[in-house]
């Protein structure tokens, strides 16, 4: 099955011409050639990049260590002050104004 001779290749070529038509074949061959050329250029570019990367020593850049942000002091909750009034309950300013 792996041996394709000249007669078999001619039969395959004839079937292709019948399927796609003689007008489409040059256009298809042209696009296939462009695709193959682009593929070769890309693989060559990748090989060149690999060679360039192999030749250049890898230099790791030392970055300064990040400083942690300074902690912001938490607001202190209001402290209720106890008035030393010797048992007398302090009055608010409004209540004092009403009494006066």
Tens digits of per-residue pLDDT, 15-64? 988 888 888 888 888 999 999 999 999 999 888 887 776 665 556 677 67
* pTM, to two decimals: 0.36
Percentage of the residues of the chain whose pLDDT score is greater than 70: 63
Q: Residue 25 has what pLDDT?
A: 83
pLDDT at 5 over 60: yes
Q: Which residue has the tokens 């260590």?
A: 65
Q: Which pLDDT does position 35 carry in this prediction?
A: 95
Torsion of CA 82, 85, 86, 91, to 10 degrees: -100
């Amino acid at each position: 099955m792996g041996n394709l001779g000249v007669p078999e290749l001619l039969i395959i070529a004839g079937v292709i011409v019948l399927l796609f038509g003689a007008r489409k074949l040059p256009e298809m061959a042209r696009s296939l050639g462009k695709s193959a050329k682009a593929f070769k250029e890309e693989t060559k570019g990748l090989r060149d990049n690999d060679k360039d990367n192999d030749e250049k020593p890898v230099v790791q850049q030392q970055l300064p260590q990040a400083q942690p942000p300074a902690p912001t002091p938490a607001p202190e909750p209001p402290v209720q002050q106890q008035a030393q009034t010797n048992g007398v309950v302090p009055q608010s300013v409004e209540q004092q104004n009403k009494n006066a």
